[in-house]
Amino acid sequence: MWHNKYKLLGFIEDIVNEKCNGFSVFCDIFAGTGVVAERFNEKNIKVIANDFLDSNFIPLKAFLGTSKINFEEIEHKINLLNDLEAKDDNYFSENFGNTYFTLENARKIGTIRERIDELSNDENEKAVLIASLLYAVDKVANTVGHYDAFRKKLDTVQPLRLLVPDFEAENNINNEIYKEDANQLIRKINCDVLYIDPPYNSRQYSDAYHLLENLATWEKPIVHGKAKKWIVRTSKAIIACNQRPKLLLI
Ligand SMILES: C[S@@+](CC[C@H](N)C(=O)[O-])C[C@H]1O[C@@H](n2cnc3c(N)ncnc32)[C@H](O)[C@@H]1O
């Protein structure tokens, strides 16, 4: 799914350590999956992570922005979600069953997503549960890695299973997570290291993210065409930077 910079992490870390002798605020302004921000997330470093898509912002909020969470409660709720019976059709199965997912998995995904809204005690818990669902969904998708199309032969048939996320909440106390246009946010924040990994092209959104964004926002829009898309979004590269970070990585 999500294209990420996982393979470049060592390289990015080496450059930051070489060029920047000590820093306390690291900003990943087009954070995507958040793997880069996560690498620098330590107790004495404040991480600012931003992405304007809910399907990225919600996992960022869950894993980098949640400092108070009861993991036992989360485990209990995830077991409950995994055990839900889903025999009837719903928005998700009607639109994505028998194509991107088996009908059984699609029914379960829609049922779980609906239940998360009722089950969550607060916004952090909700973010953690939705993030867990997004990761589980991506593992059982009948695609070649993005949601531009589904594979004709529906042979990705393993059952959907949400896992209890594992993250160090105490590292997140000072972090700030945003869902803003980077062009606006850059005028409001201050950081020592600014990492800029903008989109490669504007088609990227509707091609890669429409399905996960649909599930994350859960506004149940009408979807179109064979690929069942709804999202249309474009982006500009950063145009102005008011401050001077110690290090600018692009
Ligand atoms: C190339 S990806 C970042 C990948 C990320 N470094 C990773 O390793 O996962 C670019 C990201 O920027 C986000 N994005 C694009 N335009 C944006 C904008 N104007 N403001 C905020 N986020 C934006 C996209 O949603 C996408 O997740």
227 lies in a domain?
A: no
Residue 223 domain-assigned (yes or no): no
Q: Which residues of the chain have pLDDT under 50?
A: 1, 239
**Can you give the pLDDT at residue 21?**
80
Residues 162 and 42 in one domain: no
- CATH assignment at residue 245: 3.40.50.150
The answer on 157 and 176 residing in a single domain is no
Instruction: Please tell me whether residues 177 and 61 are part of one structural domain.
Output: yes
**Is the CB–ligand 1 distance for residue 51 below 6 Å?**
yes
What's the confidence (pLDDT) of residue 200? 78
Is 7 a domain residue?
yes
Expressed as residue numbers, the domain containing 239 is 1-66+168-198+235-250
**Total domains in the fold of the chain:** 2
Q: What are phi and psi of 53, to 5 degrees?
A: -95, 140
Domain membership of residue 222 (yes or no) is: no
Residues 162 and 118 in one domain: yes
Residue 242 lies in a domain: yes
Give residue-wise pLDDT tens across range 44-78.
999 999 999 999 999 999 999 999 999 999 999 99
Dihedral of alpha carbons 3, 53, 113, 219, sign: negative
Residue pLDDT, tens place only, 174-213: 999 999 999 999 999 999 999 999 987 766 676 778 999 9
The pLDDT value recorded for residue 111 is 98
Ligand 1 site, residue 195, Cβ cutoff 6 A: no
User: Ligand 1, residues 35, 52, 138, 188: which to mutate, most atoms within 8 A of Cβ?
Assistant: 52
Structure tokens at 76: 């209990």
205 inside domain? no
Q: For residue 167, which phi and psi values (nearest 5 degrees)? A: -150, 160
Nearest one of 137, 145, 153 to 99, comparing CA atoms: 153
> From the CA of 75, how far away is ligand 1's center (Å)?
30
Residues 1 and 125 in one domain: no
The position carrying tokens 């970070």 is 245
